[in-house]
């Protein structure tokens, strides 16, 4: 019989029981559920609502159940709709009347919201740590490959040469903004719904500030109806995950391109590649492709919850039960994808000669040749036109700008001196771009310094967050 059986003459069918259950999904929140119940019981005792003996029995009983689940010995009953009922009915069976008093001044509505928020904090804590590690790997790769020059692209056409480190660091900043989004989601989740009861609060003199503190929440949610009915913090988590996957998918796309025969910029290690069952020569960048593909599912998780939440009236509606799978899936997917990316970057082989060779092709010096003329007094638009004609000339003669002699340059403009050919090598072109945030060697050195500074700051922040949640269900 269900815990609400009093009002019912019949129980649900086996099918509707299964259809209505969330146990298969919220089982994983058992530690959070038990921590929430212990906090609630302690608070009831402190407020004189439960006797000290009851509280003690409840706590011991709950810890025993936790131990049983930890050991895989707990008997799950398909008649329990969710983790809250599974734990509570077992507690009542184990300790009797004291167990039946636990649910005083509480509803599954505030209970489930509490569990989800604690679990969300736990997921985010892991994502935040992993994001930090990934960024560390990126900075390490940027330092290791400092000086390697590659073609920078626009429209997937050779544009201007850049430092490979500069290209990598672009992702460092993207991932740093993902970190900020994950932190924001953590803060959004960090409020306690416990004590909101079904929707309206309760007649018992509960101390919501005390339970919030016991559970490591920053504060109690100020409105009981809001507390039990919104899941916006999960949407924040899903959005942060979507952005994280989006950024990873872009880097994956580049990794896939860079490892083609046509590019040959990198070779992924065997550990991050797979073979073909028919073509013996194949070495496929499966994990980069898979991350690119999984991005779609994470976006779907975000969209799914946005739609579930749309137009939901206050307060709790059973629709809300649907909020868990997608969030857990997205968080696990992003975490695995970050771990995978770290591995790929840490173990790839970079072919700097091939990168450099390509960096000089495709007239990547054209902008600098135009700048050469503009610096000698020609309006930039005019210079642009002259260099355009030069490129056309080169294309017709199937040569590169670097193959032209100073005399050939001078045919296009008398402003060209003998030194123009010196401005054509990728190294010089890169070195000259030393504006803040540019690809010049000094600018990138400064950028690496700034990135390391930010990492140092974030490391302290992650540690403080970990210390704060140490030993708590949100850890």
- In the annotation, is 276 catalytic? yes
Size of the site for ligand ARG (CB under 6 A): 11
| Dist. CA 301–CA 306, nearest whole Å | 9
Taking the least distance from each CB to ligand ARG, the nearer of 115 and 458 is 115
**Catalytic residue (one of 13, 155, 277, 311):** 155
Any contact of residue 109 with ligand ARG (CB under 6 A)? yes
Taking the least distance from each CB to ligand ARG, the nearer of 81 and 236 is 81
CB of 358 to ligand ARG, least distance (A): 54
Any contact of residue 181 with ligand ARG (CB under 6 A)? no
- One residue of 321, 364, 425, 447 binding ligand ARG per CB under 6 A: 321
Any contact of residue 227 with ligand ARG (CB under 6 A)? no
Q: Determine phi and psi for 464, rounding to 5 degrees.
A: -60, -40
| Dist. CA 194–CA 109, nearest whole Å | 9
CB of 113 to ligand ARG, least distance (A): 8
In terms of DSSP bridges, do strands 266-267 and 219-220 run parallel, antiparallel, or are they unpaired? unpaired
- In the annotation, is 176 catalytic? no
- One residue of 108, 117, 166, 433 binding ligand ARG per CB under 6 A: 108
**Catalytic residue (one of 276, 353, 449, 457):** 276
Residue-wise over 177-213: b if at least 16 C-beta within 10 A, else e? Answer: ebbebbbbbbebbbbbbbbbbbbebbeeebbbebbbb
Taking the least distance from each CB to ligand ARG, the nearer of 57 and 108 is 108
CB of 83 to ligand ARG, least distance (A): 8
Asked whether the beta carbons of 384 and 451 are under 8 A apart, the reply is no
- One residue of 112, 124, 185, 288 binding ligand ARG per CB under 6 A: 112
Taking the least distance from each CB to ligand ARG, the nearer of 109 and 469 is 109
- One residue of 316, 348, 372, 416 binding ligand ARG per CB under 6 A: 316
| Dist. CA 60–CA 37, nearest whole Å | 12
Asked whether the beta carbons of 29 and 116 are under 8 A apart, the reply is yes
Taking the least distance from each CB to ligand ARG, the nearer of 44 and 85 is 85
CB of 31 to ligand ARG, least distance (A): 16
Candidates 108-116, 237-245, 337-345, 349-357: pick the segment binding ligand ARG (CB under 6 A): 108-116
Cis peptide before 315 (omega within 30 of 0): yes
Any contact of residue 82 with ligand ARG (CB under 6 A)? yes
Candidates 62-70, 303-311, 314-322, 432-440: pick the segment binding ligand ARG (CB under 6 A): 314-322
CB of 167 to ligand ARG, least distance (A): 45
Any contact of residue 318 with ligand ARG (CB under 6 A)? yes
- One residue of 54, 81, 88, 230 binding ligand ARG per CB under 6 A: 81
Any contact of residue 231 with ligand ARG (CB under 6 A)? no
Side-chain half-sphere of 20: how many Cα atoms within 13 Å? 13
Taking the least distance from each CB to ligand ARG, the nearer of 151 and 193 is 193
- One residue of 182, 191, 320, 356 binding ligand ARG per CB under 6 A: 320
Taking the least distance from each CB to ligand ARG, the nearer of 85 and 248 is 85
Taking the least distance from each CB to ligand ARG, the nearer of 179 and 316 is 316
Any contact of residue 22 with ligand ARG (CB under 6 A)? yes
Backbone CA torsion sign across 430, 431, 432, 437: positive
Asked whether the beta carbons of 23 and 82 are under 8 A apart, the reply is yes
Residues in 350-389 at the binding interface with ligand ARG, rule: CB under 6 A: none
Binding site for ligand ARG (CB under 6 A): 22, 26, 81-82, 108-109, 112, 316, 318, 320-321
Question: What amino acid positions are annotated as catalytic residues?
Answer: 155, 276
């Amino acid at each position: 019989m269900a815990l609400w059986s009093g009002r019912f003459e019949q129980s649900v069918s086996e099918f509707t029981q299964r259809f209505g259950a969330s146990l298969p999904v919220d089982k994983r929140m058992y530690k959070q559920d038990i921590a929430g119940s212990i906090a609630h019981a302690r608070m009831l005792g402190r407020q004189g609502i439960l006797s000290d003996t009851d509280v003690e029995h409840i706590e011991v009983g709950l810890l025993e159940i936790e131990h049983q689940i930890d050991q895989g010995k707990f008997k799950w009953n398909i008649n329990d709709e969710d983790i809250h009922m599974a734990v509570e009915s077992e507690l009542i069976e184990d300790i009797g009347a004291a167990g039946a008093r636990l649910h005083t001044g509480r509803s599954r509505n505030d209970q489930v919201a509490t569990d989800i928020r604690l679990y969300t904090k736990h997921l985010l804590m892991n994502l935040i740590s992993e994001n930090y590690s990934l960024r560390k790997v990126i900075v390490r790769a940027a330092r290791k490959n400092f000086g390697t020059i590659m073609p920078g692209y626009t429209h997937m056409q050779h544009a201007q040469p850049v430092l490979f480190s500069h290209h990598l660091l672009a992702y460092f900043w993207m991932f740093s903004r993902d970190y900020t989004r994950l932190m924001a989601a953590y803060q959004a989740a960090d409020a306690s719904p416990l004590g909101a009861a079904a929707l309206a609060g309760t007649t018992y003199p509960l101390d919501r500030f005390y339970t919030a503190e016991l559970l490591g929440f920053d504060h109690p949610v100020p409105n009981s109806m809001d507390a039990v009915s919104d899941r916006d913090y999960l949407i924040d988590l899903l959005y942060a995950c979507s952005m994280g996957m989006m950024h990873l998918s872009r880097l994956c796309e580049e990794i896939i391109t860079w490892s083609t025969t046509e590019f040959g910029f990198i070779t992924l290690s065997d550990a991050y590649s797979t073979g073909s069952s028919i073509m013996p020569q194949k070495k496929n960048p499966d994990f980069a492709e898979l991350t690119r593909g999984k991005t779609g599912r994470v976006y779907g998780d975000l969209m799914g919850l946005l739609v579930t939440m749309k137009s939901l009236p206050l307060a709790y509606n059973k629709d809300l039960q649907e909020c868990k799978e997608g969030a857990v899936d997205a968080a696990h997917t992003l975490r695995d994808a970050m771990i995978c990316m770290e591995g790929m970057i840490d173990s790839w082989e970079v072919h700097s000669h091939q990168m450099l060779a390509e960096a000089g092709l495709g007239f990547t010096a054209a902008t600098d040749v135009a700048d050469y003329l503009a610096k000698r007094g020609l309006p930039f638009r005019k210079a642009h036109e002259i260099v355009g004609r030069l490129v056309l000339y080169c294309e017709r003669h199937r040569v590169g700008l670097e193959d032209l002699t100073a005399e050939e340059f001078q045919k296009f403009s008398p402003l060209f001196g003998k030194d123009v050919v010196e401005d054509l090598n990728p190294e010089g072109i890169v070195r000259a771009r030393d504006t803040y945030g540019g690809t010049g060697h000094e600018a990138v050195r400064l950028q690496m310094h700034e990135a390391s500074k930010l990492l140092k700051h974030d490391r302290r922040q992650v540690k403080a967050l970990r210390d704060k949640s140490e030993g708590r269900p949100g850890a």
